[in-house]
Structure 1
Amino acid sequence: MQADYDAIVVGSGPNGLAAAITLQQRGLSVLVLEGKDTVGGGMRTASFTLPGFLHDVCSAVHPMLAMSPFFQQLELDKYGLECIHPSLPAVHPFDDGTAACLHRSLTATASGLNGDATAYFRLFERLERNWSGIAADVLAPFRLPANPTEMARFGWVALRSSLSVAGEFNTREAKGLWAGMAAHGMQPLSNAATAATAMVLMLAGHLYGWPVVKGGSQNIARAMEAYFLERGGKIETGFFVKDLRQLPSARAILFDVTPRQLLAIAGHKFSSIYRWQLERYRYGMGVFKIDWALDDPAPFANAACRLAGTVHLGNTIQEIAVSEQKVWDGRHPDQPFVLFSQPSKIDPTRAPAGKHTAWAYCHVPGGSVKDMTEEIERQVERFAPGFRERILARHVMNTADMEAYNPNYNGGDINGGVMDLSQLFTRPALRASPYRTSVKGMYLCSSSTPPGGGVHGLCGYHAAKRALKDIFLLH
């Protein structure tokens, strides 16, 4: 009997939409099913605080969008997507009022690190020069690389711990800037392979920038949706999948969900070994997030911070390392590492005239419901005295709120699972292809597969390419 569709994609986050687009580009009939009333997953924007103030619910700053080979080939600017770049991608202030800056220019960044200019340039110059030859392999499941020599050079640093690589720097500035980047990985800085996160994010800053999307991250989803529909794809919203029996027939089904949700939907179909592997999959730290409506921008003591899209609030590498280790151990730090962003500084559509938005989050133990408002605002005030006086309204989300918004954020884990060494290449299970399940025609395409979290669409892209080869014999 003929199937209703060639392929069905369950979930419309960046990876679900990327999978659907990749399949649709090959002329297949594709249906996307989304539980909410609009597509997007983490790419959504809402007026959380006051009328006229637009806040990104989850993903908000997009270095991986700019870096992604998948997004680069879509040309979504034709569908209304406009990325805006701040003067500085990221800045890391210190208690004495100084700051280390991530510039678009590698040379400018290195020059600002005083005694570590040579060490920083040595770490990134060759990688930046040769990135185009290894990008496809770095941002993919483990495979034989096209350029083994340069890939080995990247891996030699990327697979080390952040603290180990930081030992190559001498200055507080270089160590602090590096630590703030590494902490995006939501692991202790002593863990192996945490250097990979810092390297990719800093390289993205130099090569592509850390843009925000004009009007909010929801516009990424809208552009992807328009691209997909224009090519004949179909989307049904308000369709929350809990059981396979809800689905129309299809030759391939791709799930933009994490292992926990996949088990609930289709676990009874899987082999005992595959089911056992998914049950052992590990989730990591959660996040506590605040969105603010502001009367004026954050009054950072350091002028460079006022120009940055993202500000890392953690002072020294020692303080950041202690904070992240405490969270990993199940505790709440008094001085958490805080990621702060101020999109309205470069995108005036985010707030009424003369007003501003900002957001910040810190890492907390998975499943924590502790209110971290005081700790986060104290950290902001530490580097921007008078910040609290500018707050008009705030909206907070703990890990339970995050998971209620998106069930894929298990315990507030926005990365789809721990991205440590044991789950970096084999997420979610040790198999010939991480995207295949044990059932022919069923695939996982979420951030729980390589290359992991971030708005890059590559998990969905690679899963769709696997399905095209396996089921449709298209290469």
Structure 2
Amino acid sequence: MSEFDAILVGAGHNSLACAAHLALKGWKVGVFERNATIGGAVRTQEYTLPGFRHDFGAMNLSLFAGSAFHRMYANELKSHGLEFAPVADCFASVFPDGKWFGVSTDLEKTAARIAAFSPPDADVWRKLVAAFPGEAEHLFRLLGSPMGFRALAGIGWNLWRKKGVSGALDTARLLLSSPRAWLDETFTSQHVKATLAAWGMHLDFAPDISGGAVFPYLESMANQSFGMVIGKGGADTMIRALEKMVTKAGGKIFTNADVAEIIVSGGNATGVRLTSGVTHNAAKAVIAGVAPAALPGRLLPNGSGDAGFDTAMKKFRHAPGTMMIHLALDGLADWSAGAELKNFAYVHIAPSLDQMAKTYQQAIAGMLPDEPVLVVGQPTAIDPSRAPAGKHVLWVQVRALPAEISGDAAGGIEPGPWEAVKEHYAERALDIIERYAPGLHGKILGRTIFSPLDLERENPNLVGGDQICGSHHISQNFLFRPARGFAKWNTPVERLHLTGAATWPGAGTGAASGFMLARQLAGG
């Protein structure tokens, strides 16, 4: 049995950032991870062939590069090996008519591409980019602040003071709008609209879901203004640097250490019991980086003592699932729309708002979508070190998918468990890419497929293959993430806290929930 000030359950990047800050503030910290590898959904491994390094989940580290945690600890992280690979050609979409549109950091390039579809849209784009610094100040302040009435009041006051009533209402309207509503009132080109709307699908926002407009807006404006970064050698450069920060500061990280129970005594969280039977005590805090449903009945066998909280955790809603396809390639995909597409970090295949809406609805209904949204990542176009010389990896997210299959919208695959279906459905996805990049199949040297349930087996927080650990719809965001009254990483059990993507401010690689919780506990 060991004695710690804080015990963290799970070693995702939020937990590691939290542990690092606490350890550097003098806390004795222990991190317990059920898997042999730390990092949660941010891992890089040779899933296909030796020498081909594939990001298991997250690939884009821009949020971490711009995070408050990185601003405070940039020197330490760099000394521990953190290295970014900058991206100038950020994201693009390809279309059935043979056209494409992409956003690059060169404003003139992006504006010229838009003008080819709609000159008025190019003028609108320039105005949005010019106004972005002022808008970003308020949005990033919101996303980087603890979620409480005092913080919201301060943000609202600052917004009103700088933008006036009309400007403040415009920002509020953006936060409440659906992607389609914002895109339809802002642009005329369907190609431009679809390219930006694809980012909503990354965060469970199909085109017609309220509250989703801010994500296409932020991603497109941030990529245009700042570019993007991925991890040099793999996204796990971030995890390895965080691990070294924790251990150098005296913290301990235990792998293959599955927590069976959070021990509660006198209404306080006092430690954990592992499946091995060993117990460890925590004098100040137990911090669980888990999906909410893992608490009542499992980690808290007798519940939290608050029936409302326990019910909310059990009913926490997850987003549709994702399939990951990792390919080792003899060469980059040959995009028929244009060779320039080989330079982009991401190429989306999501041709229209209507198709994205239909795909999402099919998945919600338990159907395998006939035309899934595909996010094709090309990390070796930016960072060749991830594959042997002249070779490449392709990172393919297939969105949105049901965790349990009731049918196939295309009528070609018999319903069944994912284990029996995944190879067939992966072929559907690859055939779609082949339509836009002929010859892809012939370049494949090796492949590994993770179905939605494979993802959950690898990481229980990815419930049903939900890579963002919970829907971000308005009713489960802001003051309601993960539940009303518990948006400040608190629980009804004293000294028991939550962190991770299921808590405010949600998914992404920014380590915001872990860092804000650590500062709340230890200052700094």
Give me the TM-score of the superposition, normalised by structure 1: 0.93
Deviation at 1:235, TM superposition (A): 1.4
Is the 2:206–2:356 Cα contact (8 Å) retained in structure 1?
no
Task: Kindly state the Cα deviation for residue 401 of structure 1 after the two structures are TM-superposed.
Answer: 0.5
Distance 1:432 1:72, change over 3 A: same
- TM-superposed deviation, 1:120: 2.6
- The aligned residue for residue 295 of structure 1 is 330
Correspondences of 1:114-193 after superposition (within 5 Å):
114=115, 115=118, 116-132=121-137, 134-142=139-147, 143-146=152-155, 147-149=158-160, 153-168=170-185, 169-193=187-211
Is 1:113 the counterpart of 2:114? The answer is yes
> Structure 1 counterpart of 2:447, which letter?
R
**Following the alignment from structure 1 to structure 2, what is the Cα–Cα distance between the partners of residues 391 and 25?**
46
* Matched residue SS, 2:322: strand
Aligned to 2:73: 74
Q: Does 1:220 align with 2:220?
A: no
Percent identity between matched residues is 29
Evaluate the alpha carbon distance shift between residue 389 and residue 331 of structure 1 in structure 2; reply closer, same or farther with a 3 A threshold: same
Residue pair 1:128, 1:203 contacting (<8 A) in 2 also:
no
2:281 to 249, 270, 276: 249
> In the alignment, does 2:466 pair up with 1:402?
no
Tell me how far 1:212 sits from its aligned partner. 1.6
**Partner of residue 493 from structure 2, selected from 439, 448, 469:** 439
8 Å CA contact 1:441, 1:467 repeated in 2: no
- Deviations along 1:219-247, one digit per CA (max 9) or x if unpaired, are 21100111122222221222111112414
Task: Tell me the TM-score normalised to structure 2 length.
Answer: 0.85
Secondary structure of the residue aligned to 1:211 is strand
How big is the alpha-carbon RMSD for the aligned residues of Structure 1 and Structure 2? 2.0
Deviation digits for residues 374-410 of structure 1 (CA, Å, limit 9, x no counterpart): 2211221121111111111111000111011001111
| Worse-superposed segment, 305-314 or 24-33 | 24-33
Alpha-carbon offset, residue 72 of structure 1: 2.9
Residue 457 (1) aligns with residue 468 (2): no
410-419 or 165-174, which deviates more: 165-174
Partners of 2:108 and 2:512 in 1: CA distance: 30
Task: Give the deviation of 1:443 after TM superposition.
Answer: 0.3
Report if the CA contact (8 A) 2:105-2:224 is conserved: yes
Contact 1:427 1:449 in 2 (8 A): yes
One-letter identity of the residue aligned with 1:144: A
Classify 1:226/1:153 alpha carbon distance in 2 versus 1 (closer, same or farther; 3 Å).
Answer: farther
CA deviations on 1:435-466 (whole Å, 9 max, x unpaired) are 10001100001110011111111111122233
Q: Unmatched 5+ residue regions in structure 1?
A: 469-473
Counterpart residue number, 2:256: 238
CA apart distance, 1:432: 5.6
**Are residues 1:323 and 2:359 paired?**
yes
Q: 1:84 to 1:24 in 2, by over 3 A?
A: same
Distance 1:167 1:9, change over 3 A: same
Displacement after TM superposition at 1:171 (Å): 0.8
- 2:431 equivalent to 1:378: yes
> What letter is aligned with 1:410?
V
1:312 correspondence with 2:348: yes
- Aligned to 2:308, which of 273, 292, 299? 273
Matched, 1:197 2:215: yes
Q: What's the secondary structure of 1:73's corresponding residue?
A: helix
Q: Could you tell me how far 1:373 is from its partner in structure 2?
A: 0.8
Structure 1 match to 2:470: 417
Amino acid at match of 2:467: I
The count of residues paired between Structure 1 and Structure 2 equals 468
Residues in 2 aligned to 1:56 and 1:121: alpha-carbon distance in whole angstroms: 34
CA shift for structure 1 position 27:
1.9
Corresponding residue SS for 2:325: strand
Taking the aligned partners of 2:340 and 2:172, their CA distance within structure 1 comes to 32
Aligned residue for 1:325, secondary structure, equals helix
The whole-number CA distance in structure 1 between the counterparts of 2:61 and 2:340 is 20
Alignment partners' CA distance in 1, 2:219 and 2:290: 25
Give, as a single letter, the amino acid of the residue that structure 2 aligns with 1:377: L
* Aligned CA distance change for structure 1 residues 110 and 421 (closer, same or farther; 3 Å): farther
Deviation of residue 99 (structure 1)? 1.3
Q: Does the aligned pair in 2 maintain the 1:134–1:145 contact within 8 Å?
A: no
Distance in 2, Cα, partners of 1:415 & 1:134: 20
C-alpha displacement at 1:333, in angstroms?
A: 1.6
State the alpha-carbon separation in 2 of the partners of residues 299 and 461 from structure 1. Answer: 42
Note the alpha carbon deviations across 1:140-162, whole angstroms, 9 max, x for none.
44323442235654332132001
> 3-state SS of the aligned residue for 2:259?
coil
Q: In the alignment, which residue of structure 2 is the partner of 1:471?
A: none
C-alpha offsets along residues 108-158 of structure 1, whole Å, 9 cap, x if unaligned? 434421221123334443233452454232234432344223565433213
Which of 372, 388, 393 in structure 2 is aligned with 1:352?
Answer: 388
Aligned to 1:36: 35
Give matches, 1:85-96, under 5 Å: 85-96=86-97
Question: Is the CA contact (8 Å cut-off) linking 2:9 and 2:32 kept in structure 1?
Answer: yes
Alignment match, 1:393: 446
What's the CA shift for 1:91?
1.0
Identify the range of structure 1 (235-244 vs 78-87) with the bigger mean alpha-carbon deviation.
78-87
For the 8 Å contact 1:192–1:421, the answer to whether it is kept is yes
Instruction: Find the partner of 2:294 among 254, 261, 267.
Output: 261
* Higher Rg: 2
Q: 1:340 maps to what in 2?
A: 376
> Does the Cα contact within 8 Å between 2:204 and 2:473 map onto a contact in 1?
no
User: Is residue 2:35 matched to residue 1:59?
Assistant: no
- Alpha-carbon shift at residue 106 of structure 1 (Å): 4.8
Cα deviation for residue 332 of structure 1 reads 1.8
CA distance in 2, matches of 1:177, 1:128: 22
